[in-house]
Amino acid sequence: RLLIIDFGSQVTQLIARRLRELNVYCEIHPYQNVTDAFLAEFSPKAVIFSGGPASVIDEGSPRPPASVFDLGVPILGICYGQQVMMQMLGGKVERGHGTAEFGRAYVTPAEARIDLLNGWFLDGREQVWMSHGDHVSAIAPGFEVYGTSPNAPYAITADLSRNFFAVQFHPEVHHTPNGATLYENFIKAAGFSGDWTMGAYREEAIRKIREQVGDKKVICALSGGVDSSVAAVLIHEAIGDQLTCVYVDHGLMRLNESEQVVGMFREHYNLPLIHADESELFLGKLEGVSDPETKRKIIGGLFIDVFQKYANGIDGAEFLAQGTLYPDVIESVSFSGGPSVTIKSHHNVGGLPEKMGLKLVEPLRELFKDEVRALGHELGLPASFIGRHPFPGPGLAIRCPGEITREKLEILRKADAVFIDQIRKHGLYDDIWQAFVAILPVKTVGVMGDGRTYDFACALRAVTSVDGMTADYYPFTHDFLGETATRIINEVKGINRCTYDITSKPPGTIEWE
């Protein structure tokens, strides 16, 4: 296994991700925990020093133990990791003065080539992502330069006799397009066979959950979304019936959704699951409310109350499970002099852990969405379930602009089901990030048969996106749109007009509220 020593870079997790993509098992440990004893026990096959916000020039700045250089294993230092390596091995690091570099830079090769750079410089130079204030001004004895950039004469250095490599840029980020190749070459040099899989991640995650939870009880708000579902199934596999899930049913789910979710987890997975059917409560409190923010606040507040009520009924629960993903963690990274991050509480249960005195179990904290899906697959969750489009916590409430009524929800559910059925039938579901119907707060006049109708209008929404932050409308064919509109108007009583929303995000948002 490979050890990543974390000096607090915002992108340390990306190193782990690059390595996982190469099927190499690695663990990230904060530098404070990496002692001589730790190294001896961990016995890494290779070590990577992450970047970090500190300056090696400052007294007391983060260091690995000097013994790491005596392990006889390959080491790769990145950014701050490079500087720490140079400083400790006899080189020199100086402060900026016009040599700070942030963002895109181009590295050109030195005359001599090394295996670490196989596949690099095919077009003469490589784009890399820099983010440093200090710079190395003299490399340590034994090191040679293999790549330079205008502001980083020592952009790529190595001591081949010891298999030590040090780069000033971040090969793990997207903006270093050929960075993965560099990692691939590094792990080859370290002798990894690349046979580690999501199956192994599952085993490791289970071991960690058992270690953290012991014989205590865990509660989990299961929404039926991919993240909370994968987290719940994984935790259940680790600790069995020490886990209880609560499915808060706010009456704002799609057609048959609650039955399907509850049924699947109870029957298929044997999960101890409480179906908290509180739709009367939610819909009652939402009566007459049309302001979007008020709706969201009412739903969020009630969700917490309801979850707490059911959780209080579970004796001795000490942990709250959450499907927090790595992007949720990076968004809220805050540095307080070291690699410590504050957690962004999940929007649904934010504040709950403190209020209820619960500790968090977050087994997906290191994963990206597509890795969660891979893990779900590994856990045997059905493919159709893993590939589901995202669905917002406040549910259909925010797809029903204006006042929410049971009648409107009923109509919306049916229209939505027809739209999704159309998308599936045409094989488009997986090309689309999210698709849904919004029922509009207007009635319009139509004619059906020989009679006049006066029914609701609806809007279809389907977008492509990578992360939900930006989005574009999906370019359905006119035939598809025509056929879908006809089906909805014919099959769903209460709707007599259909529009297609072609707003991108920005300036629009994906949901209507």
* Pair 396, 413: CB distance under 8 Å: yes
225 is in an annotated binding site: yes
Q: Kindly state the tokens that stand for 464.
A: 């492509």
* Pair 223, 299: CB distance under 8 Å: no
- Tell me which stretch binds ligand XMP (CB under 6 A): 87-95, 210-218, 388-396, 423-431: 388-396
Q: Which residues contact 310 (CB under 8 A, 6 or more apart)?
A: 246, 248, 274, 276
Site string for ligand XMP, 398-437 (x = CB under 6 A): ------------------------------------x---
- Tell me which stretch binds ligand XMP (CB under 6 A): 14-22, 50-58, 90-98, 390-398: 390-398
* Pair 107, 78: CB distance under 8 Å: no
347 lies in the binding site for ligand XMP (CB under 6 A):
yes
292 lies in the binding site for ligand XMP (CB under 6 A):
no
390 lies in the binding site for ligand XMP (CB under 6 A):
yes
Q: How far apart are CA 52 and CA 43, in angstroms?
A: 24
- Give 248: exposed, middle or buried? Use CB within 10 Å, 0-12, 13-18, 19+: buried
336 is in an annotated binding site: no
- Tell me which stretch binds ligand XMP (CB under 6 A): 154-162, 356-364, 391-399, 440-448: 391-399
CB of 42 to ligand XMP, least distance (A): 37
Three-state DSSP at 290 gives coil
511 lies in the binding site for ligand XMP (CB under 6 A):
yes
CB of 429 to ligand XMP, least distance (A): 15
510 lies in the binding site for ligand XMP (CB under 6 A):
yes
Site string for ligand XMP, 430-449 (x = CB under 6 A): ----x---------------
455 is in an annotated binding site: no
- Tell me which stretch binds ligand XMP (CB under 6 A): 118-126, 197-205, 385-393, 447-455: 385-393
Which CB, 301 or 313, lies closer to ligand XMP? 301
Which CB, 76 or 412, lies closer to ligand XMP? 412
CB of 506 to ligand XMP, least distance (A): 9
133 lies in the binding site for ligand XMP (CB under 6 A):
no
Active site residue 172: yes
Distance of CA 267 to the CA centre of its chain: 28
Q: How far apart are CA 277 and CA 280, in angstroms?
A: 8
Q: Spot the catalytic one: 26, 79, 400, 498.
A: 79
- 317-321 and 75-78 beta bridge pairing: unpaired
CB of 509 to ligand XMP, least distance (A): 3
Q: Kindly state the tokens that stand for 13.
A: 């997790």
137 is in an annotated binding site: no
* Pair 127, 103: CB distance under 8 Å: no
Q: How far apart are CA 12 and CA 50, in angstroms?
A: 6
The interaxial angle of helices 369-378 and 226-239, nearest 10 deg, is 50
Q: How far is CA 203 from CA 218, 233, 237, 360, in A?
A: 19, 13, 10, 20
372 is in an annotated binding site: no
Q: Spot the catalytic one: 170, 236, 250, 275.
A: 170
- Single out the residue of 109, 147, 179, 392 in contact with ligand XMP (rule: CB under 6 A): 392
Q: How far apart are CA 75 and CA 318, in angstroms?
A: 40
* Pair 41, 119: CB distance under 8 Å: no
Active site residue 126: no
9 is in an annotated binding site: no
Three-state DSSP at 80 gives helix
Which CB, 251 or 394, lies closer to ligand XMP? 394
Q: How far apart are CA 297 and CA 430, in angstroms?
A: 32
CB of 465 to ligand XMP, least distance (A): 8
223 is in an annotated binding site: yes
- Single-letter amino acid, residue 344: K
Q: How far apart are CA 28 and CA 49, in angstroms?
A: 10
Active site residue 347: no
- Single out the residue of 8, 52, 339, 393 in contact with ligand XMP (rule: CB under 6 A): 393
394 lies in the binding site for ligand XMP (CB under 6 A):
yes
Three-state DSSP at 312 gives helix
Q: Spot the catalytic one: 101, 126, 132, 172.
A: 172
Size of the site for ligand XMP (CB under 6 A): 11
Q: How far is CA 158 from CA 6, 18, 26, 65, 210, in A?
A: 21, 21, 22, 20, 41
Site string for ligand XMP, 465-504 (x = CB under 6 A): ---x------------------------------------
Which residue ranges are tagged as binding site?
A: 223-229
Catalytic machinery residues: 79, 170, 172
- Binding-site entries for ATP: 223-229
Question: Which residues of the shown chain bind ligand XMP in the complex (CB under 6 A)?
Answer: 347, 390, 392-394, 434, 468, 505, 509-511
